[in-house]
Chain A
């Protein structure tokens, strides 16, 4: 075990592979070439472009499914995904063992896979684990060690060859038999397929599965058929009403609205809401409400945002169509309005973790965003934050784009001071996912704390009537209301590694002690 740059003890190897401990933001500079897939030849593919095979099982067999392989899937269908579970049903039926599941995120519907984790079909998950899967892993029941990466970190890992995907299965709402695919139309339309980009480029074998097969060409081709080995037509790839997630309603909770309004007031006082600005606000109720407060300010002042980074839904779409936002740079669409807009409006742009988040590229969009609104399960007095575990130590969320977005110009976490007695502002985070130097402002219902490093922000909002406090004061207040919490107890067994955006390990999660 070695201490990394944020003081967390990191093992020498994880899953038998050597580990580079986190060295500080921007400090780890690997050299060498990117990973490259094998050279393919058209001679091996049908001239008529028809790569259809009868079913998923056959496609997996043709792709050479065998023990120990890494299989990737994507979370475009969120909790309505029907394909990932079927892949492992097939693997189980064939008696294949020790697979690594490499999803871009997992959802509650994937608890179906727990028996396969128990019987050795799946060795480990390298992706987010929440709900029942998170509980399973946290209790030390997964054979291998889970690896959690940000969306950008996932692209980085694939591009750099840290993870070598044997078979990528891309579920596509619309595709042709050649493998060109799009997410912006079809019964299971989800907008875009950005999370599958890396997999299509770097995986050894790529399978496209669709329930809406169209004659060549499938336009637009968000996924290039030239990268695809096999295509499969099925009855249904996803459950549309579960693809469109429930977090796209603006919050009615007075507490969250209060925090949202305070956040917007802070941004305004700091002079961040100005003509040509940009912001990122995700799909949670609080973020959506902050977007609406920005909208009101923009309309009042007759100013425009140059672009909005999303998670899009009806609200930014309305702003785009009303001309108060020039562009939506969209990473995933959260409702049908978002899907429609992406299909119809060329200013609603389909982005990927490569363009937005990949840290091993020649820049990315995340650092260009003026205001970034993010969540957290815990923040500590050094402004370090946790997004993956609950204060009781259980894995509960994926990292998503969270770590990548920390590079934005002003990173704000609107969070409650405590949730049902559990303090959110704490002395030390249970799991450190983002270093405090990248987190600028914490907005709680009981006050705003600005990172002392941001003297510019402190100066700007001085005497503007905002409830500015120190982060220590917020922590004290949380403890005064909730009582001083005990720390959760862990065994020495490491159950998951948390990767930083550059592929180093920033923290590990241990097995929860009963």
Chain B
């Protein structure tokens, strides 16, 4: 009986490959080939023995080819190999820093969320450095079918090990029902939000929540959900999905799959998806949650990205996925109000507040009357600016009309 997990090859870094063979006798034999043998060889062997002993394996041949993997990576690879041979419900968990156990607000900033393949530890290590509002460890499209099983353990361990600098900790599970198995591994881990891909109905949301409830010792409502609609049916059911449960905090659209489902080509102009995007924004606003746009897949073309963000924001989206760290900055600033917008909003809100303080029923800015919706929009801009750190909460104290 032999099983393996992990990655090997010339270009692999910060990862390892393990091959495990269970035996009937002979004790534990660990054959380690490590790039960091001089510095960590002994501690890696000790870790391997600890994991094997935890899973009550007394006789085996273990081969580890290590390219500078951290302990949590090695443990995840080994656990996957062990469970392939002897399925069991135990989990080998390294200690988690309390600092990583934070919650996020239902309405927190979700301008940018960076996708990190759940199969690649090297990309995970620094994911929190670039200023994304959220980091998604992706178990779905970024992971090849043969790697999905072991990636669950890697993502679980990553969530427990990596400081993401306060970013919202997200996981994209697989399409249901496979995704429900991902949740088995992820419950009670430092995760703030689960993305549900190819979501088509409220029933999908209920299925995820009931899985979370049945497994978790925590209350489900501390884990937020962000369904992604990626099909004609999903778009039509957007409102049903958005309102299916209290913990749905945002709804995203996935245009690659949507256009494929529709049998049409996705273009840079995006005319072909206009209706679907409007539909999702509309459903989100009606449900009181955040509408989030699809990723922009041409990472080299920054100009087109900025154009895309502007259009996206103009129809009501408040955020977008990122597939490369370089997209984060333009997305964060693109979904934040501009200086000019903030200044205008300040004048409107200030005039409104003054009129209210004076007990006036009519608000005027200069010679122009201001309607209630204008005030509401201005107030939203102000709230957004404060949330983005672009404006002080007590801005009115220093405001000169």
Which of B40, B43, B68, B129 has a CB less than 8 Å from the CB of A445? Answer: B129
Given A419-B68, A420-B67, A421-B69, is A255 in contact with B126 using a C-beta cutoff of 8 Å?
Answer: yes
Give residues of chain A (382-401) contacting chain B, Cβ–Cβ below 8 Å.
391-393
Cβ-based interface call for A422 (8 A)? yes
A489 to B42 CA separation, bound complex (whole angstroms)? 13
Please give the distance in Å from B202's CB to the nearest CB on chain A: 38
Cβ-based interface call for A379 (8 A)? no
Residues of B within 8 A of A214 (CB): none
A258 to B325 CA separation, bound complex (whole angstroms)? 9
Cβ-based interface call for A488 (8 A)? yes
Counting contact residues on chain A (CB < 8 A from B), the size range is: 20 to 34
Q: Are A482 and B70 in contact (CB under 8 A)?
A: yes
* Residues of chain A at the chain B interface (Cβ within 8 Å): 254-255, 257-258, 391-393, 419-422, 445-446, 481-483, 485-486, 488-489, 512
5 residue pairs bridging A and B, Cβ less than 8 Å apart: A392-B37, A393-B38, A420-B67, A446-B129, A486-B42
Q: Are A420 and B42 in contact (CB under 8 A)?
A: no
Residues of A within 8 A of B13 (CB): 420
Given A254-B325, A483-B71, is A391 in contact with B39 using a C-beta cutoff of 8 Å?
Answer: yes
Q: Are B129 and A486 in contact (CB under 8 A)?
A: no
Counting contact residues on chain B (CB < 8 A from A), the size range is: 20 to 34
Q: Are B325 and A422 in contact (CB under 8 A)?
A: no
Residues of B within 8 A of A257 (CB): 326
Please give the distance in Å from B34's CB to the nearest CB on chain A: 9
Residues of A within 8 A of B129 (CB): 255, 258, 445-446
Which of B14, B43, B325 has a CB less than 8 Å from the CB of A483? Answer: B43
Q: Are B68 and A422 in contact (CB under 8 A)?
A: yes
Please give the distance in Å from A428's CB to the nearest CB on chain B: 13
Please give the distance in Å from B263's CB to the nearest CB on chain A: 35
- Chain B, 25-49, contact with A by CB distance < 8 Å: what is the 0/1 string? 0000000000111111111000000
Please give the distance in Å from A352's CB to the nearest CB on chain B: 38
Give residues of chain B (332-356) contacting chain A, Cβ–Cβ below 8 Å.
none
Cβ-based interface call for B130 (8 A)? yes
A481 to B326 CA separation, bound complex (whole angstroms)? 24
Please give the distance in Å from B25's CB to the nearest CB on chain A: 31
Please give the distance in Å from B176's CB to the nearest CB on chain A: 32
Q: Are A392 and B130 in contact (CB under 8 A)?
A: no
Q: Are B39 and A486 in contact (CB under 8 A)?
A: yes
Q: Are B38 and A254 in contact (CB under 8 A)?
A: no
- Chain B, 96-126, contact with A by CB distance < 8 Å: what is the 0/1 string? 0000000000000000000000000010011
A391 to B43 CA separation, bound complex (whole angstroms)? 16
Q: Are A421 and B126 in contact (CB under 8 A)?
A: no
A488 to B41 CA separation, bound complex (whole angstroms)? 11
Q: Are A421 and B40 in contact (CB under 8 A)?
A: yes
A512 to B38 CA separation, bound complex (whole angstroms)? 10
Cβ-based interface call for B377 (8 A)? no
Question: Which 8 pairs from chain A and chain B are nearest by CB?
Answer: A420-B68, A485-B39, A254-B325, A421-B68, A392-B38, A488-B38, A420-B14, A420-B13
Residues of B within 8 A of A254 (CB): 126, 130, 324-326
The residue in chain A whose Cβ has the minimal distance to the Cβ of B325 is: A254
Residues of B within 8 A of A445 (CB): 126, 129
Please give the distance in Å from B45's CB to the nearest CB on chain A: 12
Please give the distance in Å from B326's CB to the nearest CB on chain A: 7
The residue in chain A whose Cβ has the minimal distance to the Cβ of B329 is: A261
The residue in chain B whose Cβ has the minimal distance to the Cβ of A416 is: B126
Q: Are B38 and A489 in contact (CB under 8 A)?
A: yes
A481 to B325 CA separation, bound complex (whole angstroms)? 21
Residues of A within 8 A of B125 (CB): 481
The residue in chain B whose Cβ has the minimal distance to the Cβ of A488 is: B38
The residue in chain B whose Cβ has the minimal distance to the Cβ of A513 is: B38
Given A254-B326, A445-B129, A483-B71, is A420 in contact with B38 using a C-beta cutoff of 8 Å?
Answer: no
Which of A393, A419, A421, A485 has a CB less than 8 Å from the CB of B70? Answer: A421
Residues of B within 8 A of A255 (CB): 126, 129
Q: Are B37 and A421 in contact (CB under 8 A)?
A: no
Given A254-B130, A254-B324, A482-B70, is A421 in contact with B14 using a C-beta cutoff of 8 Å?
Answer: yes
A446 to B128 CA separation, bound complex (whole angstroms)? 10
- Chain B, 61-96, contact with A by CB distance < 8 Å: what is the 0/1 string? 000000111110000000000000000000000000
Which of A258, A392, A446, A481 has a CB less than 8 Å from the CB of B39? Answer: A392
Please give the distance in Å from B166's CB to the nearest CB on chain A: 13
Q: Are B14 and A422 in contact (CB under 8 A)?
A: no
Q: Are B38 and A391 in contact (CB under 8 A)?
A: yes
Q: Are B40 and A486 in contact (CB under 8 A)?
A: yes
Please give the distance in Å from A463's CB to the nearest CB on chain B: 16
A391 to B36 CA separation, bound complex (whole angstroms)? 9
A422 to B40 CA separation, bound complex (whole angstroms)? 9
Residues of B within 8 A of A393 (CB): 38
A512 to B37 CA separation, bound complex (whole angstroms)? 12
Starting from the known contacts A421-B69, A481-B70, A482-B70, 4 additional A-B residue pairs (CB-CB under 8 Å) come to A257-B326, A420-B67, A446-B129, A486-B39
Residues of B within 8 A of A482 (CB): 40, 70
Q: Are B68 and A258 in contact (CB under 8 A)?
A: no
The residue in chain B whose Cβ has the minimal distance to the Cβ of A259 is: B129
A419 to B36 CA separation, bound complex (whole angstroms)? 11
Residues of B within 8 A of A422 (CB): 36, 39, 68
A482 to B161 CA separation, bound complex (whole angstroms)? 11
The residue in chain A whose Cβ has the minimal distance to the Cβ of B42 is: A486
- Chain B, 127-146, contact with A by CB distance < 8 Å: what is the 0/1 string? 00110000000000000000
Please give the distance in Å from A286's CB to the nearest CB on chain B: 14
Please give the distance in Å from A498's CB to the nearest CB on chain B: 20
A325 to B187 CA separation, bound complex (whole angstroms)? 57
A421 to B36 CA separation, bound complex (whole angstroms)? 8
The residue in chain B whose Cβ has the minimal distance to the Cβ of A446 is: B129
Q: Are A392 and B325 in contact (CB under 8 A)?
A: no
The residue in chain B whose Cβ has the minimal distance to the Cβ of A393 is: B38
The residue in chain A whose Cβ has the minimal distance to the Cβ of B69 is: A421
Residues of A within 8 A of B71 (CB): 483
Q: Are A486 and B70 in contact (CB under 8 A)?
A: no
Residue among B36, B71, B129 with most chain A CB within 10 A: B36
A482 to B39 CA separation, bound complex (whole angstroms)? 10
A328 to B13 CA separation, bound complex (whole angstroms)? 37
A486 to B129 CA separation, bound complex (whole angstroms)? 28
Give residues of chain B (299-343) contacting chain A, Cβ–Cβ below 8 Å.
324-326
Given A254-B325, A421-B68, is A486 in contact with B126 using a C-beta cutoff of 8 Å?
Answer: no
The residue in chain B whose Cβ has the minimal distance to the Cβ of A512 is: B38
